[in-house]
Amino acid sequence: MAERIKMGLVGCGGMSGAHMNAYRELWNKEVRVYDIVAACDIDQGRAEQRANQAHEFQGGTKPAVYTELDEMLAKHPDLESVDICALHRAHHVVAVPALEAGKHVIIEKPFGITMRACKLMMDAAEKNDKIISVAENYRLARIQRTRSWAIAQGRIGDPRMFFWVEVGEALGKWGWRNFKMDAGGGWALDGGVHFTDLMRYILGLEAEEVYAINKAYEPFRYDNAGAREGGYSVDVEDCMIATIKFEQGVTAQWTWVGSAPAHGFGQHTVYGSEGALDWGRGLVPRGGEPISNDDLMKEFTDSLTEEQNEYYFPSGIGDTVAIELKYFADAIRSGGKPEVDAVEGQRSQAICMAAYESGYWGRPVTIAEIENCELEGYQKEINDHLGIE
């Protein structure tokens, strides 16, 4: 068996807990590809907690604890990779020096706080011949694999429209995620990049143009949102309504609203020339009986070769974060690339940033304008504030 990859954890807050569960799952499934040797966070207590958790399941020497990235990199020259779960504004601040120190990087979504931040990381990875994996785990779930397969098999004919609608009221406090200079935007970026990645993955198509309207109807977030008590002011959107043009004439209507009181609703459906694929009902063929999600997943699973099944669900692992960590390890060992590499992560984020820039400029914008950093009205304030060039 190949020697384990020495891993350093950077950013030991909330999402890193999901990563620790994933490392534990890999260990329990005998997929012991990592040796966590260090944990770094500006809060030493959080780093200590993650180091203790790693020590519990992997044994050996307890991972070293740091509050400064430079010190961790200096004291662990044999470190091969880092797992970054920092706040969005810190992604490039942490990833670029790690890449320049010769470490491979797996980084939580969204890839960067702006497209220019993404470019800084991609340039550093290319210059140092290192891998970046962006943590887009939603597409790795069995049901999403199934939906992508069903579309590719022509089960609803030629795709026509994709409706992704989530409307309700979400006014609770969420720490740094409520502030543009820390998070880059509101839920349309934070959760939205998962959804745009799913749109691309399930359709098997790339977006070309976005027209969007963004609003901030509610200027506060509350300890008790229902009673409007314990509020603080925020500066991110709570409403985003977008139309996305994909290749081959496919159109997506993407709406997220967190400021719609009293009555919420949601819809997630792809329509094609011969039927629909609905998140609740399953596959609904034209003129036929619906096929439930469970039955459709069974069809997909039964269609897989042994090799395909092992790729999608290595060693029977169901934890999607564990699967993406396995892909990252495989890419490091093979010299290949993980399924969601920097290019994939950038493309999914570009749709979100196109929605913000469209709202800022009041016109449709092309994905090419966003990916090439030609249009940065909304992002300019962030880039200027953080010194991103």
Instruction: Give domain status of residue 25, yes or no.
Output: yes
For residue 355, the Cα-to-chain-centroid distance in whole angstroms is 17
- For 340-380, give the DSSP string: SBHHHHHHHHHHHHHHHHHHHHTS-EEHHHHHTT---HHHH
Report yes or no on 363 lying in a domain: no
Domain that holds residue 281: 139-308
295/163 same-domain check: yes
Position 353 in a domain: no
Q: Which of 57, 61, 46 has its CA nearest to residue 23?
A: 57
State the residue for tokens 């934070």: 190
What type of residue sits at position 1?
M
- The distance in angstroms from the start CA to the end CA of the chain is 43
Report the C-alpha gap between 301 and 381 in whole angstroms.
47
Q: Distance between CA 75 and CA 294 in Å, rounded?
A: 49
Identify whether residues 29 and 89 lie together within a single domain.
yes
* Same-domain check for residues 123 and 247: no
d(CA 283, CA 33): 38
Type of residue numbered 275: G
Q: In the structure encoding, which two tokens stand for residue 114, read together?
A: 């702006």
In a domain, 223, yes or no: yes
**6-32 pLDDT tens trace:** 999 999 999 999 999 999 999 999 999
Kindly report whether the global pTM for this prediction surpasses the value 0.95.
Answer: yes
Q: Which two tokens stand for residue 389?
A: 């060039």
Residue 72 in any domain: the answer is: yes
Q: Do 143 and 282 fall into the same domain?
A: yes
Question: Tokens 């300019």 sit at which residue?
Answer: 380
Number of separate helices (H) and strands (E) present in the chain: 15, 16
Same domain, 294 and 147: yes
251-260: average pLDDT = 98
pLDDT at 343: 98
Same domain, yes or no, for 284 and 170? yes
Give 287: exposed, middle or buried? Use CB within 10 Å, 0-12, 13-18, 19+.
exposed
Domain count across the chain: 2
Half-sphere exposure of 97 (CA within 13 A, CB side): 13
Cα distances (Å, whole numbers) of residue 190 to 3, 15, 145, 237: 35, 12, 22, 11
Structure tokens at 229: 């008590």
The CATH number of whichever domain residue 185 belongs to comes to 3.30.360.10
Is residue 187 domain-shared with residue 287, that is, in the same domain? yes
The reply to whether 112 and 165 lie within a common domain is no
Residue pair 224/271 in contact by the 8 Å Cβ criterion: no
CB-based contact 138:320 (threshold 8 Å): yes
What confidence category does residue 308 fall into, taking pLDDT thresholds of 50, 70 and 90?
very high
Place of tokens 């009041």: 362
> Are 104 and 131 contacting, i.e. CB atoms less than 8 angstroms apart?
yes
Question: Do 275 and 289 form a contact (C-beta atoms < 8 A)?
Answer: no
Are 72 and 23 found together in one domain?
yes
> 172: part of which helix (H) or strand (E)?
none
- Is residue 383, in this structure, part of any structural domain at all? no
218 lies in the same domain as 177 = yes
What is the residue-averaged pLDDT of the chain?
A: 97
Model confidence at 337: pLDDT above 90: yes
Helical segments of 272-319, H only: 293-303, 306-312
* Residue 37 shares a structural domain with residue 57: yes
Distance between CA 333 and CA 128 in Å, rounded?
16
Of 62, 83, 64, nearest in space to 75 by CA: 64
Average pLDDT over residues 298-325: 98
Q: What is the DSSP letter of 124?
A: H
- The SS3 call for residue 170 is coil
Per-residue model confidence as pLDDT tens digits over 184-236: 999 999 999 999 999 999 999 999 999 999 999 999 999 999 899 999 999 99
pLDDT of residue 99: 98
Confidence of residue 272 (pLDDT cuts 50, 70, 90): very high
Instruction: Quote the CA–CA distance of 246 and 207 in Å, as a whole number.
Output: 4
CATH number for the domain including 39?
A: 3.40.50.720
Q: To the nearest 10°, the Cα dihedral for 100, 102, 103, 108?
A: 30
Same domain assignment for residues 257 and 214 = yes
Mean pLDDT of 154-180: 97
User: Is residue 351 in a domain?
Assistant: no
Domain membership flag for residue 345: no
Please give the average per-residue pLDDT across 260-278, as a whole number.
97
